[in-house]
Chains A and B, each alone.
Chain A
């Protein structure tokens, strides 16, 4: 498990959507640029790390009950995508870190249940 404020600190992230409790908890982490993989393998309540920054990410997370998205390598989604996420109460974070570095940092901290620890 990892909470929002720790994700922001570890990834030097910027919260794009606001209005999310700093203690909001994410039980698993899933990393992929393929929304097909997210729909197939990500578990509900997971945090998604991705390099894809279009509206399909928000829609996919909504459909599959994912709880947070981190866009890596400074990939900032368009304002309308941020608006869609706000409407669905889905927190969006952007980090300048690469996918590998972001995964490594979260894998080093996430407690019980993270895919990286299995």
Chain B
């Protein structure tokens, strides 16, 4: 990102296990992006990435910080969690693979689509995970980019 480019930044804390507040960060991000005047398709992709990431933290991690950066060119969402980490990242990126509990599934989540859907909505997707430490997602959605279904 060029140093001179203006950017909007905000961070959102997410607490693991807090199902009552699930979606709060994603909805706030969506409203912010709408207020910043981004097009509806970009806002939707970023909101889905934020929501899926938020749910992953709530379901599996202890806590996380979700950092939102918006420039005229891109929306960047970085989610850095403290949690169990992912032993097999490639497997976790497989559609349908899930370690969700029955409680998570009763809430409508844990179908094994979270990480694949985040990747699907991202123009740039990076994941770094260490077992026993946590997982870091770095997602970029270009404001003039496109999603490949």
Contacts and interface: CB of A to CB of B under 8 A. Distances in A.
B107 A37 contact: no
Chain B interface category by residue count: 20 to 34
Helix, strand, loop or mixed for chain A's interface?
helix
Contacts, number: 64
A37 B113 contact: yes
Given A44-B44, A64-B44, A64-B48, A59 B23 contact: yes
A67 B110 CA distance: 24
Contacts of B44: 44, 63-65
B23 A63 contact: yes
Interface in A27-51: 33-37, 39-40, 44
A59 to B, nearest CB: 3
A89 interface: no
Given A36-B108, A39-B51, A63-B26, 6 more contacts: A35-B108, A39-B48, A39-B52, A44-B40, A59-B26, A60-B23
